[in-house]
Amino acid sequence: MSGTEIEVSAGRTNFPRDRLALQMSTAGIVHDLGNLIQVASSALNHLGRDPNIATAPGAVNVIAGAKSALERAGCLVRQTIRTAKEIEGVIAHANVAICLADVHSLVRSAWNENIHLEVRVGSNIPLVRCDRVGLQNAVLNLLFNARDAMPDGGLISVRASLSENSDQVDLCVEDHGIGMTSETMVRAFDLFFTTKGDGLGGVGLPMVKRFVEESGGSIDLESTLGSGTVVTLKLPAIR
């Protein structure tokens, strides 16, 4: 895809380290919970508009999606408690294919029909060194951003492949929405920076960046105004 490309590597920050960690920890938890609650609320709204909930086609899948979202919200709360108690855990190994399948199932039951999600995972993708729930939340953040960038609907593509040197897995989320200007791209990972008219946002991308860097990876951002955006998470592969 043509356009300006930005690579964000580990260790760069515009804030003092301790202050940034505190801000992002607090804001990020609220933001991720908001995304998950949004999924659950959308699913329940679908049920509420159906006069025959018990016999409505697909009702079981919608309810399952809502429950899954709330379970993930609970996981975030438990992670926060563990962090507050300074309990150091071992970084888990995540199966990218399974994570993406779960995310696909989650959003499919709640999104409007004008948004189409395509997920493609290459063969022989190894495990990646990161937290499974963290990876799913990162992908959800990118999907919500992609959806918001396409107010008239369209296709969102998620692709996972092994890098040429086989030491990392590249996970790309691509939309064909409004894209970004070069000025917006420069600030895209700044905490609380947003172009949304209602003032909401500015937390998702910084949280995704932090998650990837803490997992030992990096994140690329590529965008063309009027054509769309591609965000690539580069996560360490485990052999």
What is the DSSP annotation of 113-170?
Answer: TTEEEEEEE-TTPPEEES-HHHHHHHHHHHHHHHHHT-TT-EEEEEEEEE-TTSSEEE
Average of per-residue pLDDT across 105-134: 88
Higher-confidence residue of 131 and 109: namely 131
Q: Compare 225 and 36 and report the one with higher pLDDT.
A: 225
Mean per-residue pLDDT, 223-231? 93
Residue 82, pLDDT above cutoff 60 = no
Residue 184 has pLDDT above 50, yes or no: yes
What interhelical angle do 132-148 and 59-84 show, nearest 10? Answer: 120
Residue 61 predicted with pLDDT over 80: no
| pTM (2 d.p.) | 0.65
Residue 110 has pLDDT above 50, yes or no: yes
pLDDT band at 6 (very low <50, low <70, confident <90, very high): very low
- Report whether pLDDT(158) > 80: yes
